[in-house]
Structure 1
Amino acid sequence: MKTAIWLYLFMFVAFFDLHAQYPILSPFAISLGAAPSFIGLILGVYSITHLPGNLLAGYGVDKYGSKRFIVSSLIVAGIVLLVQSRVTDPWQLLYIRSVSGFVLAFLSPACLSLLAKIARDNVQQSKLMAGNGLVHTMASVLSPAAGAYLVAKLGFALSFTVLGWILIITGVLAIFGVKERQYTLAAAQLFPPVHGDSNVPALKNQKQAGALDEPVPWLFFVIPLGLSCSQGILFFELPLMKEASGSIMTSGLLFSVVSLGALVTLSMLFINRFSPLLRTTTGCLALALVFFGMSVSWPLPLYVSLFLIGMAKGVIFPAIASLLASVTSANRYGRVFSFLSISYSIGAFIGPIVAGHIRSHTSPYFIAFVGLMLALCMLPLKAFKPVQA
């Protein structure tokens, strides 16, 4: 389990650095003379360049393993931040952000793939994925305030330099902290390869072979796409609501309420004993109902609604990762988790765009509700039959 702790550390640092830049980037771009429309492009290009990086990461992790991608992604991302601290033009910042999005796209599939291989069974896989969600949530709670504090004390340039060196040092530690080979060999036995692959050990029985011959249905990825689209709508709309009062501090508190809700359900480890398919479907349904309630201005206070959204997220995100791991052979974890990251990136890009175009005549939260319900209706339930070791 030492490797799992190392992986959590790497992901925490990466997410911490990423979220710490959220309150920094817009003011930094303004200080460089960027127009509001160009600032939106600077923020959105990260998700765009994430897509080819995720696609390459999936096949690369399956072929070469996770460690080299974890190490290189952290170190190169740190170097990119050091360069970012010296930019003097909005176009330079755009280029740097596009490179950063591509480089960090390799980290999440690599870490999730190795986490899935560490597990001894499907229940432990669920617990490890829940731990990943907990780490991500803690980073998202702590880092925005830390980023704002750094800028207040050190200024933009020095803040990016500090964050960059943190990533580089963490990448160097990954060289010594990640032990991959022993888990790869064990995972090949516990979560066998697809039938007919001569490069990996043979299947234990025909039941496992039949269960793993079929790839994950493409329609499943509509679920993470709809989920991240709804979150993009929330992140766009929340600061514009009257309850936010146009205050950055108030908006930050509202986002923190979402993260606190996620921490509550992520801390309920007994939830991991339930089927990941059940957790995914019920969590998405609950989330959709909350968005519907917000779209019709139900009587619950905004803070309660946001807390419920966070609780649903704390159930859904680990469940999706566990579900994919339970129906995928170990030699294909990288590809599956890269497609998952691609779905999240596309949804995060579409959500704010849709919200910006329809908010004048339709509640964006209603679109989030419709998107989640459509994704649930398209979910191919019969395709998900977890393989037992």
Structure 2
Amino acid sequence: MKTAIWLYLFMFVAFFDLHAQYPILSPFAISLGAAPSFIGLILGVYSITHLPGNLIAGYGVDKYGSKRFIVFSLIVAGIVLLVQSRVTDPWQLLYIRSISGFVLAFLSPACLSMLAKIAKDKVQQSKLMAGNGFVHTMASVLSPAAGAYLVAKLGFAQSFTLLGWILIVTGVLAIFGVKEKQYTESAAALFPHAHGAPSAPEDNNMSEQDEVNRGIPWLFFGIPLALSCSQGILFFELPLMKEASGSILTSGILFSLVSLGALVTLSMLFINRISAFLRTSMGSLALALIFFGMSVNWPIPLHVSLFLIGMAKGVIYPSIASLLASISSAKRYGRIFSFLSISYSIGAFIGPIVAGHLRSHTSPFFMAFFCLMLALSLLPLKTFKTVQA
């Protein structure tokens, strides 16, 4: 479990640094003279450059292991932040953010793959994934306020410098804290193949893409894509709602309610004993119904609705990771979790764009409902058979 604690530390520091920049990037870009439209590009380019990084990370982690990618991602991301503290032009900030998105894309697949490998059974896998969700949520709750506080006390340049050094030091600690070889060997014995995957010798002519797809239908990745898209729509629309009153502080409180709801269900460890597929599908359905209720102005207050959205997220995110780990062989964890990260990145990029273009015609929350229901309706029945096998 020492390795799991180290991995949680790395993920917390990375997400803390990332989320700490959310409230300060836009003001920083404005201070450099960036136009509002260009600020949107600066914020969105992170998700775009995440895609090639995720793809490379998936195959790299399976071939070379997680440790070197964890160390590389943390240290280089820290160096990028040090450079970011010295930028003087919006275009320079755009380039730096694109590099940061590419570099940090390696961290999540590497850590998730490692977490899946250190588990002794599938129940422990679910608990470890829930722990990852808990760490992510805690970072998202604490870091925005911390980032704003740092800028108020130190200014933009020194804040980015401090965050950069924190990443670099954490990356150096990863060199000594991660012990990977023993877990890779035990995982290969415990989780040799996906549920439902044939145990006969593999066809040498089978492509790696076909090998990955044997246990997981590609349409399954529509669930994380729709989930991320719906969250992107929520994050776009929430500050514009009349309940936010145009106040950054009020918007921050509303976002915190989502995180607090997620913490509630992430703390319910007994949920991990329920089928990961059932948690994923039922949690997504519940989330879709909440968005539908918000789109028709149901009588439940916004604060309660946001808390319920957070509770649904606390169920869905760990269960998706647990499901993918349980129906994949250990040697393909890197690729599987890289495809998961790619789905999240695409959804996060599409969601705000769709909401921005269509909100004058229909409720953005109905679009979130539609995305989730479409993904659920396209979910292949083969997935049910795979998990139950």
Whichever residue aligns with residue 224 of structure 1, its letter is: P
**What residue number does 2:373 align with?**
373
Structure 1's unaligned 5+ residue stretches are 200-210
Whichever residue aligns with residue 96 of structure 2, its letter is: I
Shift of 1:322: 0.3
Q: Could you say if the C-alpha distance between residues 271 and 29 of structure 1 is closer, same or farther in structure 2, counting changes exceeding 3 Å? A: same
Give structure 1 regions of 4+ aligned residues with deviation exceeding 3 angstroms. 193-199
Deviations 1:14-54 (A, max 9, x none): 00000000001000000000000000000000000000000
**What residue number does 1:116 align with?**
116
- Asked if the contact 2:212–2:332 (Cα under 8 Å) also holds between the matched residues in 1, the reply is no
Shift of 1:248: 0.5
Question: Quick one: distance in 2 between partners of 1:38 and 1:170?
Answer: 32
**What residue number does 2:347 align with?**
347
Question: Quick one: distance in 1 between partners of 2:167 and 2:277?
Answer: 35
Deviations 1:111-142 (A, max 9, x none): 00000000011111000000000000000000
Question: Quick one: distance in 1 between partners of 2:287 and 2:381?
Answer: 19
Is 1:303 the counterpart of 2:293 in the alignment? no
Shift of 1:380: 1.5
Is 1:89 the counterpart of 2:89 in the alignment? yes
**What residue number does 2:269 align with?**
269
Question: Quick one: distance in 1 between partners of 2:79 and 2:110?
Answer: 20
Whichever residue aligns with residue 336 of structure 1, its letter is: I
**What residue number does 1:66 align with?**
66
Shift of 1:213: 8.6
- Asked if the contact 1:212–1:327 (Cα under 8 Å) also holds between the matched residues in 2, the reply is no
SS in 1 for 2:328: coil
Question: Quick one: distance in 1 between partners of 2:130 and 2:254?
Answer: 23
**What residue number does 1:247 align with?**
247
Question: Quick one: distance in 2 between partners of 1:130 and 1:273?
Answer: 12
Question: Quick one: distance in 1 between partners of 2:44 and 2:343?
Answer: 15
SS in 2 for 1:343: helix
Q: What TM-score, normalized to structure 2? A: 0.95
Q: Could you say if the C-alpha distance between residues 145 and 43 of structure 1 is closer, same or farther in structure 2, counting changes exceeding 3 Å? A: same
Question: Quick one: distance in 2 between partners of 1:278 and 1:334?
Answer: 24
Q: Identity of paired residues, percent? A: 84
Q: When the two structures are aligned, how many residues end up with a matched partner?
A: 377
SS in 1 for 2:88: coil
Structure 2's unaligned 5+ residue stretches are 205-210
RMSD: 1.6
**What residue number does 2:208 align with?**
none
Q: What TM-score, normalized to structure 1? A: 0.95
Question: Quick one: distance in 1 between partners of 2:134 and 2:382?
Answer: 30
Question: Quick one: distance in 1 between partners of 2:347 and 2:127?
Answer: 26
**What residue number does 1:136 align with?**
136
SS in 1 for 2:360: coil
Q: Write the mapping of 1:1-389 to structure 2, written as runs, cut at 5 A.
A: 1-193=1-193, 196=201, 214-384=214-384, 385-386=386-387
Deviations 1:265-311 (A, max 9, x none): 00000000000000001100000000000000111111000000000
Whichever residue aligns with residue 116 of structure 1, its letter is: A
- Asked if the contact 2:15–2:136 (Cα under 8 Å) also holds between the matched residues in 1, the reply is yes
- Asked if the contact 1:3–1:177 (Cα under 8 Å) also holds between the matched residues in 2, the reply is yes
Q: Could you say if the C-alpha distance between residues 213 and 369 of structure 1 is closer, same or farther in structure 2, counting changes exceeding 3 Å? A: closer
Whichever residue aligns with residue 121 of structure 1, its letter is: D
Shift of 1:198: 10
**What residue number does 1:205 align with?**
none
Whichever residue aligns with residue 19 of structure 2, its letter is: H
**What residue number does 2:207 align with?**
none
Shift of 1:381: 3.3
- Asked if the contact 1:12–1:136 (Cα under 8 Å) also holds between the matched residues in 2, the reply is yes
